[in-house]
Structure formats: C-alpha cells, structure tokens
C-alpha cells in the first residue's frame, strides 16, 4: 500500500506546541497545512470540516484540549482548571453527531482529573501523553478493522463506499477503506466505486483522491448513480464508516448512507459498517436518540459553484448525517471483531 504520509490529516509538533492539520476543505486542488495554537482555531477547523471524519475529529479535539492547558499553564491552579474547562466546552460544541469528539474529550477530562493534585506542568505533561495515546492507538486498530473487514470479501469484488472513511479521516488505513488498503497489500484487486457524496463532496474530493493516489482502482459516481451500478451487478459489497453507532446497532453516518443501505437491501448486496469501538455509544439506546447536525443551506445552493445553482432565498434542508436502521446492516466491523444481528447482544459482547 502506498501510504499518503504527505497527506497526514492530524499531527502535533511537540517542539513548537502546534497542531498541524491538513486543510481538507482545499483538497484535491491544494495541499495546505495549518499550524494551530489555540483551542478556538481548533474548534473552527472541526466546525468547518478542515479536519473531519469521526476519529480524526477526536484526535484534533484532544490536542485542542492540550493547547488550552498549555496556554493556561502559568496561571494559578484554579484559573488553569477554569480555562481548560471553558476550552473543553468550546471544543465539544464544534459538531454534535460524531461520538469520537466527546469520547476523546472525556478521556482528556479523566486524565486531567487524575492529575488534580499535581503541578500545572505535571498536568500538562499528563495531557500531552493522553493526546498522543489517543493518536497512537490508531494505526494498529485500523489495521485490525481492515483485516476483519477483508475476511468478509473476496479478491476482485466490486465495492461501493460513501463519503470518506479513509486515511484522511482515520490515520493510515481508515475504517471503511481499511479492507481495501489491506486487500491491496495482498493483490485483492478490488474495484471501488466512490459516491461523490453531496453536498460537501467528501467522496469526490477525498475518497477518490486518496484511493487514486494510492493506486487503487476507483471510479467516481454521482450519488444518484448508485442504484445503476448496483443494478448492473458491479457491486458485491458496500463498505461505509460511522459517526455514532447506537446500542441497538442503528448507525449514524454521512447523509445518503441510509439510501445506499436501502438500495443494497433491494439488490441483495451485503452492507457493512466499519468503525472503532470508540464510535459505538452504548449510552445511546437507538438511532432516534442521536443528534443530527444541520449545516448551512449555502452548502447545498451555492458553495461549490461559480454561480448560485438555486434561486436566491429558496429554502434548503441540509442534514449532515442520517441514521441507517440496524435491520439494513449486515455486520458492524470493529477492531475487536465482526458484530452481527441481533446487535443489542453482539455489541454488548464487544464491551464485556
């Protein structure tokens, strides 16, 4: 597999204390790295999707938390703790759906609480360690997701994916794309179809970009062509990522995922959801309890066009995610193994 080291989504420079983010809003036309020093700019980067994809959002937020602690390090202990708490609340407000954001902030909170009796410097050192740990646990985990996913596939298969759940969203192998990259290392020769993923085009700008750069056979399609490629018999499996999986196996992922799952069911194509166990939220009972982010109408009407492609002032509805009913999900693939229905039991076993 060609690694896209030149396109690493999230890094931290411990010499300059800067979070280095690849600005994904500019891909595929421009490769620009941002060097951020304040939690406010980290929040902005998450909010406008300069960094996006559930796991990458979690890592970026952990470093945003660390930056807040570094900035407040010289203050008296009570102000130090108050500043970090305020930054934590700010980061948590960046996006509502991906549970990894809250999971990562909770981990940083626990580490900060455990450091309560220590000096500010020692607390910052502990937070530095925790943010690095959240980042470093990634690669082995995504390799495992890739291998579990690969066990469900056969060489030469046609695979459809939606949005971007690859290296740009979750370091190295990604989640939904991990079996494709692991398969490439074994000459599996998958033929991948990438939905462009309206309105923000993560499939076109990011998935097609990273798979093409890695030398994977990828064909870009508009979202409304998925039924055609399925009907043509070109798709043997659907692989998608997830932003939050409820305890009953309902899956929140990029808007359009539910439609893909319904079509896959119609054509008898297995629909696999891939993600780390940190994306499974056992505290959320069903998909109905998941908050769906709603984004500005301009993303639908004007954002990608030189001229507006909708009449001025027309209403537009722009939910960023949808929930796929667990009945449409063939299996949920995690680093700990493959969960199958009934998910109430199989997901609980992953945490046992």
So which residues are the catalytic ones?
243
| 60-119: contacts with ligand MRU (CB under 6 A) | 98
For 336, what's the count of Cα atoms within 13 Å in the CB-facing half-sphere?
A: 14
* Contact of 301 with 319, CB cutoff 8 Å: no
Question: 214-225: b or e for each residue (b if 16 or more CB lie within 10 Å)?
Answer: bebebebbebee
Shortest gap between Cβ of 53 and ligand MRU (angstroms)? Answer: 4
Residue linked to tokens 């970090």: 84
Q: Among residues 7, 43, 53, 269, which is the contact residue for ligand MRU, using CB under 6 A?
A: 53
Q: What's the CA gap between 46 and 67, in Å, rounded?
A: 15
Q: Among residues 42, 165, 216, 260, which is the contact residue for ligand MRU, using CB under 6 A?
A: 165
* 207 touches ligand MRU (CB under 6 A): no
Residue of minimal CB distance from ligand MRU?
Answer: 241
* 243 touches ligand MRU (CB under 6 A): yes
Q: What is the helix (H) or strand (E) element at residue 192, kind and residue range?
A: strand 191-195
Q: Among residues 19, 54, 264, 332, which is the contact residue for ligand MRU, using CB under 6 A?
A: 54
Q: 3-class DSSP state for residue 239?
A: strand
* 260 touches ligand MRU (CB under 6 A): no
Joined together, the tokens standing for residue 182 give 């692991």
Name the segment binding ligand MRU (CB under 6 A); options: 70-78, 108-116, 169-177, 300-308: 169-177
Name the segment binding ligand MRU (CB under 6 A); options: 6-14, 110-118, 168-176, 216-224: 168-176
| 271-330: contacts with ligand MRU (CB under 6 A) | 320
Q: What's the CA gap between 86 and 72, in Å, rounded?
A: 11
* 146 touches ligand MRU (CB under 6 A): no
* 202 touches ligand MRU (CB under 6 A): yes
Give the interface size with ligand MRU as a residue count (CB under 6 A).
19
Q: Among residues 55, 183, 203, 249, which is the contact residue for ligand MRU, using CB under 6 A?
A: 55
Q: Which long-range contacts (CB under 8 A, 24 or more apart) does 46-50 make?
A: 46/91, 46/94, 46/95, 46/101, 47/94, 47/95, 49/24, 49/25, 49/200, 50/21, 50/23, 50/24, 50/25
Which residues in this chain contact ligand MRU in the complex, by CB under 6 A?
49, 52-55, 98, 163, 165, 169-170, 174-175, 202, 241-243, 253-254, 320
């Amino acid at each position: 597999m060609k690694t896209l080291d030149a396109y690493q989504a999230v890094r931290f420079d411990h010499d300059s204390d800067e979070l280095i983010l690849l600005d994904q809003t500019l891909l595929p036309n421009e490769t620009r790295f941002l060097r951020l020093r304040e939690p406010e700019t980290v929040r902005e980067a998450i909010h406008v999707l300069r960094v996006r994809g559930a796991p990458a959002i979690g890592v970026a937020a952990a470093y945003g938390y660390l930056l807040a602690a570094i900035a407040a390090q010289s203050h008296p202990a009570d102000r130090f703790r108050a500043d970090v708490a305020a930054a934590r609340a700010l980061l948590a407000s960046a996006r509502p759906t991906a549970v990894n954001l809250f999971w990562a902030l909770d981990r940083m909170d626990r580490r900060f609480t455990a450091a309560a009796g220590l000096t500010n410097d020692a607390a910052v050192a502990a937070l530095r360690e925790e943010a690095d740990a959240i980042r470093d646990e990634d690669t082995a985990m995504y390799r495992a997701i890739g291998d579990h996913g690969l066990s469900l596939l056969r060489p030469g298969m046609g695979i459809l994916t939606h949005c971007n759940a690859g290296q740009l969203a979750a370091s190295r192998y990604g989640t939904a794309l991990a079996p494709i990259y692991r398969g490439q290392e074994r000459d599996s020769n998958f033929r991948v179809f990438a939905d462009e993923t309206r309105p923000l085009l993560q499939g076109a700008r990011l998935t097609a970009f990273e798979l093409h750069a890695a030398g994977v056979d990828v064909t870009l399609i508009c979202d409304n062509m998925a039924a055609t490629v399925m009907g043509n018999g070109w798709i043997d499996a659907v692989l998608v990522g997830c932003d939050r999986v409820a305890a009953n196996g309902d899956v929140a992922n990029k808007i359009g995922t539910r439609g893909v799952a319904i079509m896959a069911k119609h054509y008898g194509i297995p629909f696999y959801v891939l993600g780390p166990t940190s994306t499974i939220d056992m505290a959320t009972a069903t998909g109905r309890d998941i908050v769906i982010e709603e984004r500005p109408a301009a993303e639908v009407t004007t954002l990608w066009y030189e001229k507006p492609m909708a009449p001025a002032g027309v209403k537009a509805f722009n939910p960023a995610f949808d929930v796929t009913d667990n009945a449409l999900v063939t299996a949920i693939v995690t680093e700990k193994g493959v969960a199958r229905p009934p998910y109430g039991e199989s997901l609980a076993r992953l945490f046992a």
